[in-house]
Amino acid sequence: MAISQLFSLNHPKCSFQLGNPLISKHNSNKKASKNSFQLFPDKPFKSIKCSTTSLSSSTSLTPQIEEETTLSLEDERPLSQIWKEIQGFNNWDGLLDPINPHLRREIIRYGEFAQACYDSFDFDPHSKYCGSCKYQGAHFFEKLGMADRGYQISRYLYATSDINLPNFFQKSKLSSVWSTHANWMGYVAVCTDEEEIKRLGRRDIVIAWRGTVTYLEWIYDLKDILHPAKFNKDPSIKLELGFYDLYTKKENNCKYCSFSAREQVLAEIKRLMEYYDGEELSITITGHSLGAALAIITAYDIAELELNLVDEGEMSNKIPITVYSFAGPRVGNLKFKERCGELGVKVLRVVNVHDKVPTVPGILANEKLDQFQRYLEETVSFPWSYAHVGVELVLDHTHSPFLKATNDFSCAHNLEAHLHLLDGYHGKGRRFCLANKRDIALVNKDSNFLKSEYGVPPYWRQDENKGMVRNSDGRWVLPERPRVETHPHDISHHLEKILHKFDHSGSSQFKEA
């Protein structure tokens, strides 16, 4: 397929009940080859045409895309053959500059899973459903125009808002609300379409965490306080306190937060691992902004608990864990970074060089200090030392001819802008050129970043009539939403399995949480 074409699949629709076992368990994808692919086989690339966008006289919101003769490279190998490399098996060595077209498409695809958290979230303080997801799990991807992705929601994730990040959570101004303590934080989804499984080369489990679109004051609430992760016996591995609380705290008086976000996601991963036992699997975690911090913590937690370790007779196999992080802050100290590396957690961090969020916390001591940071942590016990995890892919929004110069901090941080920049990125020093013809109108979905000559209104995505409908009496009302399931009935069962495994080693991961 040419790189200038959009990738799309037509998948049959499947009904799915949130929190219930998946409808069908396909085993046709059993044990694909686990051998790493040949990194440089004979003639794996071909030259193709790239594309750019020019002004059009069309009255459509979306400018026309015109072909140019700029050459790019397409990787002719199928993704199913090289998926482990694309997921970071070799830390993306040789795949970023120039960027491998498979990798570009996969980063964008997972970024769109993260964007779905925003597009489905109720930010309206005048709605009693503020802070919840607008759609039931069975219709989630269909409502977002993503039914062709081949994934189904496995469960929703919630966190208590009663923690020390007051400017992150959304709450209704009304007295009668869906929950006084909870915010919807994301979802777990599973690839269930056989054609997509074949294309990917494995069955993929996705965890997507919500961040925040434009309300960025939460970043100033970070106190630079490090807290022991307590996911293993080493107290020197530490996380930023606000992130730790968001992940581990629960509220017994709230049916959505009676289990912490941590307990919810770990129990679901345990369930899915058992359900798809014997299949080739991957665990991919994605998030933007604060959601990116949660994504890295989740990946570390799963690996530390060895939930991705599968026994195969006398051998053990590790299911790959990959994080695609967008515009994320630093999460933990240098010990945390090093432990993630030891566990084999692969993290690709996509950042805009003009975005301030990835520069915090850890302004005084961070990974740029190298050996000096190690001295600060080990000898001086410096309490404000943070380090980014993984490999960084740096973008620059000034390289896009479609974006205007702005001092709006939220534009540089915007996820759709990051995905636009990825589509035009080919490597350091290479010209910006849209590879997949991704619609530039998406940039202004929840921002005002496109140049005005493209005729795309800012902040254009919204529900029709803001969700109001006319009832049988002819009155306009906000309709009641179907009740969303809180937690599957077997969540305690799977948590007990995790606890039982680690109680023998004296670990107490879930006792504080």
pLDDT digits over 107-141, tens only? 999 999 999 999 999 998 888 999 999 999 999 99
187 or 44, which is more confident?
Answer: 187
Catalytic-residue membership of 289: yes
Separation of alpha carbons 179 and 176, rounded Å: 9
3-state helix, strand, coil split of the chain in percent (to 5) is 30, 20, 50
> Which of the four pLDDT bands, split at 50, 70 and 90, describes residue 305?
very high
Q: What percent of the chain has pLDDT over 90?
A: 65
- Asked if 198 contacts 476 with a C-beta cutoff of 8 angstroms, the reply is no
Give pLDDT, residue 64.
43
* Token output for 148: 């062709």
Give pLDDT, residue 422.
98
320 or 509, which is more confident?
Answer: 320
- Asked if 301 contacts 237 with a C-beta cutoff of 8 angstroms, the reply is no
pLDDT digits (tens, 9 = 90+) for 308-349: 999 876 677 999 999 999 999 999 999 999 999 999 999 999
Distance of CA 342 to the CA centre of its chain: 22
Strands (E), 164-268: 182-191, 203-209, 226-228, 238-240
Residues 6+ apart with CB under 8 A from 462: none
Catalytic residue among 193, 204, 245, 355: 355
- Domain covering 79-395+463-505 in this structure, CATH number: 3.40.50.1820
What residues does each domain of the chain span?
A: 79-395+463-505
Between the CA of residue 214 and those of 167, 352, 446, 450, 456, what are the distances in Å? Answer: 11, 15, 8, 16, 19
Give pLDDT, residue 466.
86
Please report where in the chains the tokens 């071909």 appear, as a residue.
46
> Which of the four pLDDT bands, split at 50, 70 and 90, describes residue 195?
very high
pLDDT digits (tens, 9 = 90+) for 401-423: 999 999 999 999 999 999 999 99
Q: What percent of the chain has pLDDT over 70?
A: 82
Catalytic residue among 102, 288, 388, 413: 413
Mean pLDDT calculated for residue range 156-167: 88
Whether the per-residue pLDDT at 47 is higher than 80: the answer is no
Amino acid at 15: S
> What global pTM score does this model have?
0.86
- Asked if 412 contacts 352 with a C-beta cutoff of 8 angstroms, the reply is yes
Separation of alpha carbons 376 and 213, rounded Å: 35
pLDDT digits (tens, 9 = 90+) for 224-251: 899 999 999 999 999 999 999 999 999 9
pLDDT digits (tens, 9 = 90+) for 347-378: 999 999 999 999 999 988 888 887 888 888 88
- Assign 3-class secondary structure to 447-487: CCCECHHHCCCCCCCCCHHHHCEECCCCCEECCCCCCCCCC
- What is the radius of gyration, based on Cα positions, of the chain? 22
506 or 95, which is more confident?
Answer: 95
Whether the per-residue pLDDT at 49 is higher than 80: the answer is no
User: What is the rounded end-to-end Cα distance, in angstroms, of the chain?
Assistant: 48
Separation of alpha carbons 44 and 73, rounded Å: 10
Catalytic-residue membership of 260: no
Report the mean per-residue pLDDT for the chain: 85
Distance of CA 201 to the CA centre of its chain: 20
316 or 206, which is more confident?
Answer: 206
- Asked if 351 contacts 137 with a C-beta cutoff of 8 angstroms, the reply is no
> Which of the four pLDDT bands, split at 50, 70 and 90, describes residue 46?
low
Catalytic-residue membership of 355: yes
Please report where in the chains the tokens 């030259």 appear, as a residue.
47
Give pLDDT, residue 136.
94
Whether the per-residue pLDDT at 24 is higher than 50: the answer is no
Task: Please choose, from the candidates 291, 267, 274, the residue with its C-alpha nearest in 3D space to the C-alpha of residue 486.
Answer: 267
Catalytic residue among 179, 289, 385, 447: 289
Task: Please choose, from the candidates 246, 280, 228, the residue with its C-alpha nearest in 3D space to the C-alpha of residue 32.
Answer: 280
Separation of alpha carbons 281 and 2, rounded Å: 28
* Token output for 474: 């002819």
Give pLDDT, residue 327.
97
